C-alpha cells in the first residue's frame, strides 16, 4: 500500500512539473516581427548606367532569432531578409537606368547584413520598440575591383501603444531602420561624378548593357 501511494505521489509530482514547464513556456512566448515591405521611392536623379545586384541567399533569407534574458524571456524571430531585398532594389531602380546589367554591368552591388539588435519598451522603460541593423554594401567594377565598401548603421523606432501589438511595433521599428539605411546609401550614391568614376576605373562605359 505504501509503495503504491509513493508511486501515485511520484506520478502527481511529475505531472505538476510538466504543467509548470508548459506554463513557463507559455509565459515566455514566441514572437515573430515581420517588417513591412513599404518604402517610398527615393527622390534621386536616374543615372544612365546598367548595374547588377548581387543578392546572396544569406541576405535574402536573413533571419535574426534571439531569446530574451530573464525568467519570462520570450523568443523573437525577425525575418528581415525579404524586406531588405525590397529596399535595396527600390533604391537601385531609382538611381540607375537598369539593375539587370548581367556580366556587362558597369558596377556590381552586393549588400550584406552584419548585425541586428533590438530592444523592447519593457527593457528600456521607454515608449518605443527600437531596432538597429548594420548593413554593408560592397560595390565592384567590371574588372572585379572593389571601388566602394560602405558600412550602413541603421536605426529605427516605433512608439508603443494600446492599439499596437508587440510584433507590429517591432516590425515597424525594423521598417524605419531600413528607411534609414536607404537614406544613407542614397547619400553615398548621389554624386554622379563619383559613381561614374567608379565605373570608368575599369574601362566600363556608363549606360552600356
Average pLDDT over residues 195-205: 75
Judge whether residue 18 has pLDDT over 70.
Answer: no
Decide: pTM greater than 0.85. no
- Do residues 106 and 51 make contact, with C-beta atoms less than 8 angstroms apart? yes
Average pLDDT over residues 110-126: 93
Judge whether residue 136 has pLDDT over 70.
Answer: yes
- Do residues 173 and 156 make contact, with C-beta atoms less than 8 angstroms apart? yes
Q: Which three cell numbers stand for residue 181?
A: 539605411
Judge whether residue 161 has pLDDT over 50.
Answer: yes
| Spatial strand order in the sheet of 47-53 | 96-98, 47-53, 107-119, 128-141, 146-159
Residues in the chain: 209
In the chain, helix, strand, coil percent, each to 5? 40, 30, 25
Residues 6+ apart with CB under 8 A from 18: none
Give 71's pLDDT tier (boundaries 50, 70, 90): very low
Q: Report the percentage of the chain scoring pLDDT > 90.
A: 67
- The values of phi and psi at residue 6, to 5°, are -65, -40
Residue 110 to residue 88: CA distance in whole angstroms:
10
Residue 199 to residue 147: CA distance in whole angstroms:
9
* Fold of the 33-200 domain: Rossmann fold (3.40.50)
- Do residues 92 and 47 make contact, with C-beta atoms less than 8 angstroms apart? no
Average pLDDT over residues 158-177: 87
Residue 44 CB: number of other CB atoms within 10 A?
13
Nearest to 50 by CA among 110, 93, 112: 93
Amino acid at each position: 500500500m505504501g509503495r503504491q501511494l509513493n508511486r501515485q505521489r511520484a506520478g502527481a509530482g511529475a505531472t505538476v512539473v510538466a504543467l509548470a514547464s508548459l506554463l513557463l513556456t507559455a509565459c515566455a512566448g514566441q514572437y515573430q516581427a515581420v517588417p513591412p515591405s513599404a518604402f517610398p521611392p527615393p527622390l534621386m536623379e536616374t543615372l544612365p548606367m546598367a548595374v547588377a545586384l548581387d543578392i546572396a541567399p544569406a541576405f535574402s533569407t536573413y533571419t535574426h532569432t534571439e531569446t530574451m534574458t530573464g525568467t519570462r524571456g520570450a523568443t523573437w524571430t525577425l525575418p528581415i531578409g525579404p524586406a531588405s531585398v525590397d529596399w535595396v532594389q527600390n533604391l537601385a531602380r531609382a538611381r540607375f537606368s537598369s539593375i539587370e546589367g548581367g556580366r556587362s554591368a558597369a558596377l556590381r552591388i552586393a549588400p550584406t547584413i552584419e548585425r541586428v539588435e533590438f530592444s523592447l519598451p519593457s527593457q528600456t522603460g521607454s515608449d518605443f520598440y527600437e531596432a538597429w541593423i548594420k548593413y554593408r554594401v560592397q560595390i565592384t567594377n567590371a574588372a572585379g575591383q572593389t571601388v566602394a565598401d560602405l558600412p550602413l548603421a541603421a536605426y529605427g523606432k516605433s512608439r508603443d501603444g494600446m492599439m499596437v501589438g508587440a510584433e507590429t511595433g517591432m516590425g515597424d521599428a525594423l521598417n524605419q531602420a531600413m528607411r534609414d539605411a536607404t537614406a544613407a546609401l542614397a547619400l553615398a550614391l548621389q554624386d554622379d561624378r563619383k559613381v561614374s568614376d567608379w565605373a570608368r576605373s575599369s574601362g566600363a562605359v556608363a549606360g552600356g548593357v
